[in-house]
Amino acid sequence: MLETQLAHWGILPVVAIESASDASPLAEALSSADLPIAEITLRTDGAIHAITQLTKREQFIVGAGTVHSVEQAKQVADAGVAFVVTPGFNPKTVSWCLQHSLPIFPGVSSPTDLEMALDFGINVVKFFPAEQLGGVNMLKALHGPYSNVRFIPTGGISLTNLREYLSLPSVIACGGSWMARQDWIRKGRFDEIQRVSTQAVQERRQLLAT
């Protein structure tokens, strides 16, 4: 189950990739760090081509992020993604994904958004932009009235505050682009992506061991 896998890794790399030729070395770098999963954002012209390349790889989970419409959801579904992530809560996009059994983690930023998610039967959501919305303290406040909701906080998270977020019982995983920065991909610095991703995985494992 996807949510179980997310909880296992606790980290979701959020990646903007410009060229499909970088897809395979990116997947190899993340997999070598024992993090075989990525959310490819639809912020670049090469995103769909990269997704298509990545979905062909066994043992690698590919999702699409920054999905703004039903049309984009259809496009990434045709490309074979395992899940969809949206920056905000778009009822039409959410409805289409649910109707087509495509897991979706819609973005929320308020109790009103959470009420909408629950009304759609969704209890795992993206919390975005996490740091700007109050970060850990906001998630702690939301946990009281929404104890059955699990969050994927994204936005402003890095290795320096990763453990603080992952320590919260309401957090299923943390999303972030610091592990696979766009300029690193552009410059072919996949060794750096592997190194930083390994640090994140180790931080997660150390937390579990305490």
Q: Is-catalytic flag, 74?
A: no
Segment 76-85 long-range contacts (CB within 8 Å, at least 24 positions apart): 76/42, 76/48, 76/51, 77/102, 79/48, 79/51, 79/52, 79/55, 80/51, 80/52, 80/55, 80/56, 81/51, 81/55, 82/2, 82/55, 83/2, 85/39, 85/126, 85/152, 85/175
Is the distance from CB of 57 to CB of 27 less than 8 angstroms? yes
Give the C-alpha separation, 59 to 129, whole Å: 29
Q: Which residue has the tokens 């919390």?
A: 127
Q: Is 186 helix (H, G, I), strand (E, B) or coil?
A: helix
Q: Is-catalytic flag, 92?
A: no
Q: Which residue has the tokens 């699990």?
A: 150
Catalytic residue among 3, 18, 92, 126: 126
Catalytic residue among 39, 131, 140, 192: 39
Residues with catalytic annotation?
39, 126
